[in-house]
Amino acid sequence: MAYDRYGPDEIRNILQSTKVIALVGASANPARDSHGVMRYLQAKGYRVIPVNPGLAGQTLNGELVYATLSSIPYQIDMVDIFRNSEAAGPVCDEAVEIGAKSVWMQLGVINPQAAARAETAGLKVVMDRCPKIEMPRLGL
């Protein structure tokens, strides 16, 4: 079930105000959803910074892979999480620490406690949704 704290207008606003996305759990495997979503978002004009400690230092879809959010030397607007629900908690906390504007937890990733911490810190949080699905649905 989708986390419906934000309606279509708010989700559209998050997507339209975002320029730089850190994609946590990025994969070099083209068959993985995180790889396809990264390429889709890049094709839509976003700069997508891959985060994966196992691939750190390599290049993925033209971008250097970082081990952690805090090691990225750019301002991040959105943190897109392709990790399990439990692992999303520390990622949300790190998103707060780096000053991200929003956290997006992918389909099946649901962590209400982490979402509450991020929202309390002023971040917008979307859970159990995919921007690759939401963008066409919203006409973006």
> What are the structural domains of the chain?
8-137 (3.40.50.720)
d(CA 56, CA 137): 33
Percent of the chain with pLDDT over 70: 97
Query: Mean pLDDT over residues 80-106, rounded?
Result: 97
d(CA 131, CA 54): 24
Position 2 scores a pLDDT of 44
Position 5 scores a pLDDT of 74
At position 51, the amino acid (one-letter code) is: V
Residue 7 pLDDT level (bands cut at 50, 70, 90): confident
Answer whether residue 3 shows pLDDT above 60. no
> Reading across the β-sheet that carries 102-105, which strands appear in turn?
47-51, 20-24, 78-81, 102-105, 124-126
Answer whether residue 125 shows pLDDT above 80. yes
Answer whether residue 1 shows pLDDT above 60. no
Position 80 scores a pLDDT of 98
What's the predicted TM-score (pTM) here?
A: 0.95
Question: What does pLDDT average to over the chain?
Answer: 95
In 3-state terms, what secondary structure has residue 89? helix
Per-residue pLDDT tens digits for 16-39: 999 999 999 999 999 999 999 999
